Structure 1
Amino acid sequence: MSSSNAYAGPWSSLPTTLTPWVMDVIQSMGHTQMTPVQASTIPLFMKHKDVVVEAVTGSGKTLAFMIPVLERLIRRETRLRKNEVGALVISPTRELATQIHSVFSLFLSSQPSHSSSSSDEDAAEDSHHEAEPVYPPPLLVISSSSPPAQDVHRFLDTGADIVIGTPGRIEEFLLGKGKDVVSVKELEVLVLDEADRLLDLGFHNTLTRIVTHLPKQRRTGLFSATMTDALSELVRVGLRNPARVVVKVQTKKAKVKGDSQGDGQDRYEVIEERRIPANLQNFYLTCRVSEKLVQLTRIISHEVTKQQSSRFIVYFATCACVEYFYRILPLFMLNNTALYSLHGHLPPAARTKTLNNFATSVAFPTSPSIMLATDVAARGLDLPDVDVVVQFDPPSDSKAFSHRCGRTARAGRSGRAWVLLAGRERDYVDFLAVRKIPLVEQPPFGVDGASRPASDESEYEDDRVSSMQEEIRQLLLTDRGLHDKAAKAFVSFVRAYSKHEASYIFRVKDLDLIGAAKSFGLLRLPRMPELDNVSRDGWADASVDWNVYSYADKAREAKRLVEAEKLAITSEDRAKHREERAQKKKKDIPWSKKTDHKQEKLKRKEKKDRKRKWQKTQQNADSGSKRVREGDAGSGEDEADEWEELAREERMAKKVKKGTVSREAFDGEFGGL
């Protein structure tokens, strides 16, 4: 497999010569030549054309829109006023907006001052004066930087020509707090970066309102690694007769004989198209679910020792998984390994700090830097020198797969990516192949780091699984808070798995939940419906006295003890309490009512006995001799009268219950019985 050429000529080959100080910054960044997407997009964007750019991640799309924006503003005949916006860049996440802002700031901070245009003598005389830049610094508008009203104040104070931000804050900036202040009449350029992600996050209506508010006489650039139907709709609404730039990566056969053409010359033949960088080696590894953590540690060890890799990103399915594995992975890493945690539940300031720390950390194979992340770090972020990407959990959205891999092998550098698959997840390889993301199989790693036969995956469980599970459990036993994190992470993983886009491949009923619980090192299985009908074979809860098992945090432990006291009533205590309440209720009844009630029960019992005797007599009379003595007949008539009286009493008692007859009327009628 040969990688396609990642360069498309020097910057000097552009039809329009770049401003010298812009060119100086590009050279200082190490970009001596243009990438294909830059060579195709920059001339079009600078020639007053709308562009739709689709290119693989890491292909240089950011500079492809940044340079035209700067050049268009520099070439304006009149300067923008302090309340006028010249360029607007909208990105889906704070992190990406912050990164774009930092690159714009790098360019604008390198511009020459006013004095540079004067003679050398004047410059020497005025060198002691601090000259203001011609073009003000860009404005960053994101939720963590400042409140909306302060965004407007900062804009007026700095007079920024370029505004970068997320959709919600841009809308508030233009149509909310800044509606009567911020002017877009002179807007030159609108850029929608990672446009497909903007729509995936539900910003379609917001973007429509922003685009409608902007002047139609502008240039619009839409940049994305993937094209969707919703994106095509946005193109129709917001762009005018755009030029479409599609930069593909293709793999070629080494040699194809040309005899069939009749000229006898060898040719290269395109055999596949890829949506990942050409210099990216993309591997998949199949193993048991219970072995995923074992294989993760062995992949890192292999990359460090064999490939001299030093900077890694490991992707997990959920924020809870990142938080949990951030706590347990140090058990299995080198002592001088630096771990970083990045996910969407962190405050914006913490996310920015983590990104900066990871990007600026000094990493060597002997002291690697590893960032554990969710898809919040999957798109657009240009993290320098990332050697390896490992996907512990495949993403729920298949489009995120190529974006994750694209954090390495950027700007012509080589990189390696791994994904861990278990069981029928092997079908995901074919699913990705249809989407032009080829994967190469690598067998699982054995105990000594050597590859073991792939067939072993279904024959036995790696011995390291049980020992790692025990090590994790020993760590969890030091703090009940870690046990809570483990259970939360496990539940969130299963729930995320059930919502996978490729649901015919990733089915919970096919997932080895017991194996997953082993990989998480759980002390016991949590209560969840997905585990109701799952066999517990091969699983044993840890031996834990849950009444004594405590939190390391004293405040949480105090709260637990208080709650435990409230729940300390046993079933025997509850039964005793019920009996005491029944006895107390009996004691509270007045003595007179208890006596009357007892007498009424006795009277009713006597009447029922007499009724049964009369019924028996009637049966005997019907089946006995026809000769009946006169005295006996008189006695039968008396008993019949008593039965009628009893029946009448029961009918009236029912009416008392229904409320149609009062109790006093009943007692007056039958009280003497």
Structure 2
Amino acid sequence: MHSGSSKRFLTMADDGMLINFDLGEGPFKAQQKYKGGSWKDRLSARKAAQYNRTRDVKRSAATGVNGTQVAERKEKPNADDFETSTAKRQRTDGADPRSRPVSGPNVTRGKTASGKPQEVISSLFSFNPQAKTKAENPSEDAAPAEPSNAPLSDGLANFVNLGLSTQLAEHLLQKMDIKAPTAIQRAAIAQLVNEDTDAFLQAETGSGKTLAYLLPIVQRLMSLSANSSAPEQGAIHRDSGLFAIVLAPTRELSKQISVVLESLLRCAHWIVSGTVLGGEKKKSEKARLRRGINILVATPGRLVDHLDNTEVLDVSNVRWLVLDEGDRLMELGFEQDIAKILAKLDARTGRKAPIPGLPTRRTTVLCSATIKMQVQKLGELSLKDAVHIQGSGEDKALKRDDTSKEEKFSAPAQLQQSYAIVPAKLRLVTLTAILKRAFARRGSVMRAIVFISCADSVDFHFEVFTRKLSKTDASDATDSTEKPEVTESAPTGAPATAFSTKDNPVRIFRLHGSLPQHARTSTLAAFRSSKEPAVMVCTDVAARGLDLPNVDFVIEYDPPFNKDDHLHRIGRTARAGKDGRALILLQPGAEEGYIDAVLKQGRHDDGRGLLRSDATDILRKGFGSPGLGAGADWEARATEWQLDVERWALEQPKALEMARRGFQSHVRAYATHVAPERAIFDMQALHLGHLAKAFALRDKPGSIKVPGLRPSAGASKGERRSAGKSGAKADHEIPGSVEIDEAKRKMRAAQKKIAGASEFNIG
């Protein structure tokens, strides 16, 4: 073989054949070996590398030896499984800081002409899936919808005509600024003041159901006092005993009901109310019960405890029992506790001589937004010959056949609903852009709520939005950027450095079920009373029943676990006839099926007024510079913001661990959607690598065991082998072979043991 020849000869050992290969004039190059992954992944990587080599040769010929060369790499979903840098990194010259980042999970810049090292930048805007559905935004000329839950305006529908005393009606008008009843209040008060029949109250969120059942109870007790010989002292006083019990599923809702009740009782100071809740000291609760209570607001578990162990709690004269948020009571597993409460009330009723004028039978009121199978079961357990009271005011007897079909339940008509199609990699920057835009002008938004699926994710986002900013970002923020590093006992409220401005400072709060009860109570109180714009990042612990004033905007960052939760979430705004906005973020692909399956169903207009946005539009408005027309630098600014978060996470081990926990809990929570929606929220379609970037992670954490997800999607081969040898499991991990329903049940059961939270960590 001649050295200068362009031919190479290879001899076959089996038959001595000579084969001629023309390999060209260039020297031999060592071929890169690809390891790990499946054979399809390795084949794809080899083809991608061959394509890149061919393109680089053509580009070199076009630009010359001294020209700028850029080696772009094609991104693959499992590129990080290969032991090669070409599938992960590529180089750019970075001449234009506003240029679009090139493809790949991350891009490592080389050195500039001045010799300075260039940093790692995130390719947020490459290889993102495109939306499959088309936008069908309504016409801008459409007339605004009339409020469906506003107080009635006609003069005949005042509280006195419904059976309330003049004293109570004047108190509502002068002290509580309530001028007229809502539709559900008009229907319920007229029925419950004059009749002793059981009732099922059904009305849309924000329509005033709490006053609908509290006003008749207070009026009946005030009437007993008015008929006594000394009405100024009252026939009803704290020593008279307990007459009414209100059961609520959560401590936050119980606290809120108690606040409304105390406001009502300021016109009848001799009637005493109190609470018994989980998470508080039983010793202090027993002391309150010993002093005497007439109306008790309680959570089911704690009330059962007192009925079993507190002798001073006398329920023989209880004549009113209210089950608020009946569907939520059943979802949280309180069926057995409610059955025990009903049995003890039935067994102890009539032990003492009743007070003259007190009803002879107990009235039970069940409140629920929808009639579902579980609510039907609770109704059969607690109600007898009940009257169905709806917001329309058309009362009818609630028969067994009425609960066989689930009735349609709509959000308030005046609520402006919208959705945004956002790829997984852009979720974090898009949420930031939404909040930047919402609080750009002082007075535009006073309060906003961001719903997130799990407690770990809430903690992570709270730290992201309150972190100490870099010098480049701090110029637009408030002066309160000196936030300390992540600590074990982080506060529940802090300045929102990520989207505050000097002209419009914003505070951010966090709330979830894993927080201590005193922290949850103080957080809600601070959010309610905040004089400056405020955002609350929370789980579904704040989704139901809470009346948070002046909430202008609700953002569902993570879709809810069922459609009922969606309606209750967005019901935190547009209450009592006020305006409000709600936005939900969906990923391109299967999640777009949520639009027709849920979003268009819970509306008075059948979805015709549903608005749509895309991530690029939101980012352009949130990160674009007002002085550059349409915001020409929005991509560079969004990328730099993402980079700053990633650097922050890498520099602080506690922040990095918080990001990993948030990512893992989010993926586990994604697997717990109800059965009818699992095709929409498909675990197999979830891109874990892209999703990791939404948690400021440059590589997805391994060993994430998720029900319904194949093992290879959550861990590498080596990690699965080591995990199998050790047999160790992380907290709340469920083997992949377990059915999703069973896994969901076990996760919720495990979390109920932790401070009464209903998440794993799901709020």
TM-score of the superposition, structure 2-length normalised?
A: 0.59
Match status 1:167 vs 2:337: no
Match status 1:326 vs 2:326: no
- Structure 2 partner of 1:449: 621
Match status 1:354 vs 2:553: no
Query: Structure 1 counterpart of 2:247, which letter?
Result: I
- Structure 1 partner of 2:246: 89
Question: By how many angstroms is 1:447 displaced?
Answer: 4.3
* Partner Cα distance (2:642, 2:386) in 1: 56
Kept after mapping to 1: 8 A contact 2:410/2:602: yes
- Structure 2 partner of 1:59: 207
**Unpaired segments ≥5 residues, structure 1:** 112-132, 250-271, 453-460, 537-673
Match status 1:181 vs 2:347: no
Counterpart pick for 1:504 among 679, 692, 697 = 679
Q: For 1:190, what is the secondary structure of its paired residue? A: strand
* Partner Cα distance (2:619, 2:519) in 1: 37
Structure 1 46/471 Cα, relative in aligned 2: closer, same or farther at 3 Å?
Answer: same
- Structure 2 partner of 1:213: 344
Q: For 2:669, what is the secondary structure of its paired residue? A: helix
Question: By how many angstroms is 1:469 displaced?
Answer: 2.9
Q: For 2:651, what is the secondary structure of its paired residue? A: coil
Question: By how many angstroms is 1:390 displaced?
Answer: 0.3
Structure 1 165/314 Cα, relative in aligned 2: closer, same or farther at 3 Å?
Answer: same
Question: By how many angstroms is 1:434 displaced?
Answer: 6.7
* Partner Cα distance (1:27, 1:435) in 2: 39
- Structure 1 partner of 2:414: 279
- Structure 1 partner of 2:370: 226
Task: Please list, as runs of the form range in 1=range in 2, the aligned pairs for 1:121-136 lying within 5 A after superposition.
Answer: 133-136=269-272
Question: By how many angstroms is 1:23 displaced?
Answer: 3.4
Task: Please list, as runs of the form range in 1=range in 2, the aligned pairs for 1:541-560 lying within 5 A after superposition.
Answer: none
Question: By how many angstroms is 1:29 displaced?
Answer: 2.1
Match status 1:297 vs 2:463: no
Q: For 1:383, what is the secondary structure of its paired residue? A: coil
Kept after mapping to 2: 8 A contact 1:314/1:371: yes
Structure 1 288/370 Cα, relative in aligned 2: closer, same or farther at 3 Å?
Answer: same
Structure 1 532/88 Cα, relative in aligned 2: closer, same or farther at 3 Å?
Answer: closer
* Partner Cα distance (1:442, 1:473) in 2: 29
* Partner Cα distance (1:195, 1:535) in 2: 38
* Partner Cα distance (1:382, 1:60) in 2: 9
Q: For 2:439, what is the secondary structure of its paired residue? A: helix
After superposition, give the CA deviation of every residue in 1:160-219 in whole Å (9 maximum; x if it has no partner): 100101001111222x122x4322222121111111100100000110111122247111
* Partner Cα distance (2:377, 2:601) in 1: 21
Structure 1 333/433 Cα, relative in aligned 2: closer, same or farther at 3 Å?
Answer: closer
Task: Please list, as runs of the form range in 1=range in 2, the aligned pairs for 1:192-591 lying within 5 A after superposition.
Answer: 192-215=323-346, 217-247=361-391, 275-305=410-440, 308-330=444-466, 332-335=498-501, 336-363=505-532, 368-423=533-588, 424-433=590-599, 435-437=601-603, 438=607, 440-444=610-614, 445-449=617-621, 466-501=639-674, 502-529=677-704, 533=712
Q: For 1:300, what is the secondary structure of its paired residue? A: helix
Structure 1 321/447 Cα, relative in aligned 2: closer, same or farther at 3 Å?
Answer: closer
* Partner Cα distance (1:83, 1:484) in 2: 56
- Structure 1 partner of 2:256: 99
More helix by share: 1
- Structure 1 partner of 2:25: none
Between the aligned residues of both structures, percent identity stands at 31
Question: By how many angstroms is 1:297 displaced?
Answer: 2.0
Kept after mapping to 1: 8 A contact 2:424/2:694: yes
- Structure 2 partner of 1:636: none
Kept after mapping to 2: 8 A contact 1:322/1:372: yes
Kept after mapping to 2: 8 A contact 1:294/1:464: no
Query: Structure 1 counterpart of 2:573, which letter?
Result: T
Structure 1 413/446 Cα, relative in aligned 2: closer, same or farther at 3 Å?
Answer: closer
* Partner Cα distance (1:404, 1:320) in 2: 19
* Partner Cα distance (1:81, 1:513) in 2: 59
Query: Which structure: larger Rg?
Result: 1
Aligned residues: 476
* Partner Cα distance (1:152, 1:470) in 2: 54
Structure 1 83/170 Cα, relative in aligned 2: closer, same or farther at 3 Å?
Answer: farther
Query: Structure 2 counterpart of 1:59, which letter?
Result: S
Q: For 1:443, what is the secondary structure of its paired residue? A: strand
After superposition, give the CA deviation of every residue in 1:472-499 in whole Å (9 maximum; x if it has no partner): 1111133200000000000000111111
Counterpart pick for 1:191 among 316, 322, 326 = 322
* Partner Cα distance (1:328, 1:315) in 2: 16
Query: Structure 2 counterpart of 1:425, which letter?
Result: E
- Structure 2 partner of 1:43: 190
Calculate the aligned-residue CA RMSD, in Å: 2.7
After superposition, give the CA deviation of every residue in 1:311-338 in whole Å (9 maximum; x if it has no partner): 1100101000000000012353115220
Question: By how many angstroms is 1:451 displaced?
Answer: 12
